[in-house]
Amino acid sequence: MLTLTSVWTTILLAAAVALGPLATDMYLPALPQIGSDFGTGTDQVQLTLSLYMVGFAIAQLICGPLADRFGRKPIMIGGFVLFAIASIGCALASNIETLILCRFLQALGGSAGPVLGRAAIRDIYTPREAAKILAILASIMALAPAVAPTIGGLLTASLGWSSVFLALGGYALVMAVVVAFGIPEPMRPEHRQSLKIGSLLRNYRTIAKDISFVGYTLTNALIFSGLFAFLSGSSFVLIDFLGVPTEQFGLYFACMVAGYIVGNLTAVRLGRRLVPDQILVRGLIIAVAGGSLMAVLALSEVFNVWAVILPQALFMIGTGMVLPQTMAGALANFPTMAGSASALFGFTQMAVAAVAGMLVGHLHDGTSLVMALIIAACAALAMACYLLLVQRYPAKGFEPQSITSN
C-alpha cells in the first residue's frame, strides 16, 4: 500500500480520474459509424454524449455525500464496477435508445472517479498545494485523451465500435482493483459527515451560498463547456465535413491535448511565484483568444482542419491553466465537506457542459461554425464570471497578499 503523498498515489488517482475523459474521448471517432449503423441523425447520436454528462452530473450529488460518510475508496470501487457492467451493455446495444440508456448508467458509475479524486487531493493537501497537485494530476490525465481517440479510431476501424466499450469496461475493472489494493483511504475519520437528509441539504446550502465557490465553479463549468462543445462536434466536423479518416482522427485530437498539457505545465511553473487566481486570469485570456480566433475563421468561411485544430489548441492551453485553479479554489473553503463540495462542483460542471453539447448537436449546420461560436461564447462568459465573482471573492489562501513573491 502506497503512502498518501507518494508520487505513485498521485499517478494512480490520475488514472482513476481519467476514466471520465476516456469514456467520452475514446468513442468520439465511432460517433459517425454509430449513427450510420443505427440509422439516426447527429442530434440523437450526440445524446449519447450529453445524457452521459447529465447522468455524470446527477450521480456526483449522490456519491459525494456517500463518500463524506463512508470514505472515498468504497464508493470509488463500487462506481468502477457499475461502469464496467454498463459498458458491456453499451457494447451489446442493438439500437440507439439502448445505447443512450446504458451510457446513462455508465455515467452513474463513472462519476465516482473524478469527484472522489478531487476530494482526495483536498483531503491530502492544503488549498494552494492542491492547485499545484491538481495541475500535475491534470497533466498526467491528459495522456488519456491524447491516446484515447487514436485507440478508439483503430478499434472502430478494425473491430467495430462495440470493442471500444469492452475496452473501457476492462479498464474500469483494473482501476477497481488498483484503488482497492494500492491507495490508502485519504479521508480523516473526524471529517466523516452524517447521511441524514437534513444534514446533506444544510451542507449543500452552505456550499452553494459561498460566493467564492459559485464564482470558481461557474468559471470552471463554462470553460469546460467550451471543451465539451469541441468534443461533441469535432468528429462530425473533422470526419464528416473535412474528410479526416476515422483512424487519423486521434492524431489531430492529440494537438488539442498537447495544448492542454502545455497549459497544465505552465500552471505548475507559474505556481512557484504566483497565486492561483493570477494564473487563472492569464489562462482565461488565452482561452478567450483561442475561441475568438476559431469563431472569426468560421465566420470568414475558412473551413479546413487547421482552422479548427490550431485555435482549439490555443483554447486548450488556457483551459489547462484554468481548470486546476478553479477546482482548487472551489474546494478551498470546505476542508470538512470536500466530497459534497466536489460533488456540487462536478454537478454544475457537467450540467452546463451537457447544455453546450446539446446545442452543438441540435444547431450543427454541417460546418464548424456552430461549434466555433459556442466555444467562443463559453470562453467569454467564463471571463465575465471571473471579473464579476472570482476577482471580488477569492478563495482562502488564493489572495495575492497571502504569500510573498520569490
pLDDT digits (tens, 9 = 90+) for 23-61: 888 888 888 889 889 998 878 888 898 888 888 888 888
Position with higher pLDDT, 15 vs 190: 15
Q: Is the pLDDT of residue 269 over 50?
A: yes
pLDDT at 247 (0 to 100): 79
Domain ranges of the chain: 1-183, 197-393
**Mean pLDDT score, 112-117:** 78
The mean per-residue pLDDT over the stretch 103-116 comes to 86
In angstroms, the Cα distances linking 182 to 60, 70, 393 are: 23, 18, 38
Q: What's the CA gap between 349 and 119, in Å, rounded?
A: 15
Do domains 1-183 and 197-393 share one topology? The answer is: yes
Q: Where are the beta strands (DSSP E) in 132-218?
A: none
What phi and psi, each to the nearest 5 degrees, are found at residue 194? -75, 150
CA distance 81 to 76: 9
Q: Report pLDDT for 400.
A: 61
Give buried/exposed letters for 99-123 (b at 16+ CB in 10 A, else e). Answer: bbbbbbbbbbbbbbbbbbbbbbbbb
Q: What whole-number distance in Å separates Cα of residue 94 and Cα of residue 27?
A: 17
pLDDT for 82 beyond 50: yes
Characterize 57-72 residue by residue with b for buried, 16 or more Cβ atoms within 10 angstroms of its Cβ, and e for exposed: bbbbbbbbbbbbbbbb
CA 387, CA 336: separation in Å to the nearest integer?
28
Q: Which residues contact 388 (CB under 8 A, 6 or more apart)?
A: 215
Dihedral, 155, 251, 20, 383 alpha carbons, nearest 10: -160
Quote helix, strand, coil % in the chain, to nearest 5: 80, 0, 20
- How far is 187 from 69, CA to CA, in rounded Å? 10
197-393 under CATH 1.20.1250.20, yes or no: yes
Lowest mean pLDDT among 79-93, 105-119, 266-280: 105-119
pLDDT 10s digits, 83-101: 999 999 999 999 999 999 9
Say how far apart CA 209 and CA 322 lie, in whole Å.
23
Distance CA 324, CA 302 (A): 33
**pLDDT score of 404:** 40
pLDDT digits (tens, 9 = 90+) for 326-385: 988 998 888 878 778 888 998 898 889 889 988 998 898 889 999 999 999 999 999 999
Mean pLDDT of 314-334: 92
CATH class label, 1-183? mainly alpha
Is pLDDT at 222 greater than 50 in this prediction?
A: yes
Spatial CA neighbour of 82 closest among 63, 60, 107: 107
Say what the pTM is. Answer: 0.76
Measured distance CA(40)–CA(37) in Å, rounded: 8
